[in-house]
Amino acid sequence: MTTQHLSGKVALIQGGSRGIGAAIVKRLAAEGAAVAFTYVSSTAKAEDLQNSIISAGGKALAIKADSADAVAIRNAVNATVETFGRLDILVNNAGVLAVAPLEDFKLEDFDQTLAINVRSVFIATQEAARHMTEGGRIINIGSTNAERMPFAGGGPYAMSKSALVGLTKGLARDLGPRGITVNNVQPGPVDTDMNPASGDFADSPVGRYGNVEEIASFVAYLAGPEAGYITGASLTIDGGFGA
């Protein structure tokens, strides 16, 4: 049985309808938090997730919001506060992966990578910080590819995840005096729709892909009361993939 470490807390997860994001939503709800989460196109999955949490006695709110749209991001933060009365935890999980040979990489894909993987993190954090008080938690979902890019065509993706390392450090300086921590979780290969375990990237010392629950448990720890002295950190959870 999951301990209710987050009872009374309110969380917003950017990109929470499937994969790692959905696992984070479920875990934070299981630990007692009221959870709002954004989605773009997976309406049925988002509604099912919201309803399953409510049916289990929790509080949940699915918000349709494109993380490439600054207004939509700000509105999602404000809708969370209006619905649940506060905001304690922000998880920036929305992300895209575009891979192509350098000569063929489309500029619009490059721009979208930056807009969703980096710009949305800044916008959501800026807006969330207006509402957070001491004990607030901001957790970015980066990637082990910030440190190791093992295949061609992924340069812009690796760059976007490397950018989160520096952004996390800077935001930790900005918000530390207010008692708000900012950290960056860097998963390695995790079995999701975007990167199924039937793929080619399980050459880690443990010899397998991670599962979404393992990432969610790490996020839940950083969101909880015992992680108050961790900030500005990029923490890798990749089975040794980058070793």
CA 165 from centroid of its chain's CA atoms: 14
Residue 113 has pLDDT above 90, yes or no: yes
Structural domain boundaries of the chain?
A: 10-237
What are the tokens at 204?
Answer: 């880690």
Which residue's structure tokens are 């490397």? 162
Q: In this predicted structure, what is the pLDDT of residue 42?
A: 86
Q: For residue 17, what is the enclosing H or E element?
A: none
Nearest of 28, 228, 5 to residue 135 by alpha carbon: 228
Q: For residue 237, what is the enclosing H or E element?
A: strand 234-237
Q: In this predicted structure, what is the pLDDT of residue 2?
A: 66
Q: Determine the Cα–Cα distance for residues 192 and 41; give it in Å rounded to an integer.
A: 17
Q: Determine the Cα–Cα distance for residues 16 and 7; give it in Å rounded to an integer.
A: 20
List, for residues 74-89, the tens digit of each pLDDT value.
Answer: 999 999 999 999 999 9
Q: Determine the Cα–Cα distance for residues 214 and 24; give it in Å rounded to an integer.
A: 10
List, for residues 4-58, the tens digit of each pLDDT value.
Answer: 899 999 999 999 999 999 999 999 999 999 999 999 998 999 999 999 999 999 9
User: What would the DSSP string read from start to end of 77-112?
Assistant: HHHHHHHHS---EEEE---------GGG--HHHHHH
List, for residues 125-181, the tens digit of each pLDDT value.
Answer: 999 999 999 999 999 999 999 999 989 999 999 999 999 999 999 999 999 999 999
Give 208's DSSP letter. Answer: S
Q: Which segment of 17-26, 36-45, 97-106, 187-196 scores lowest on mean pLDDT?
A: 187-196
Catalytic residues: 157
Q: In this predicted structure, what is the pLDDT of residue 1?
A: 55
Band (pLDDT 50/70/90 cuts) for residue 206 is confident
Sheet holding 181-187, edge to edge: 60-64, 34-39, 10-14, 89-92, 137-141, 181-187, 234-237
Q: In this predicted structure, what is the pLDDT of residue 56?
A: 96
Q: Which CATH number fits domain 10-237: 1.20.1250.20, 3.40.1390.30, 3.40.50.720, 3.40.50.150?
A: 3.40.50.720
CA 196 from centroid of its chain's CA atoms: 19
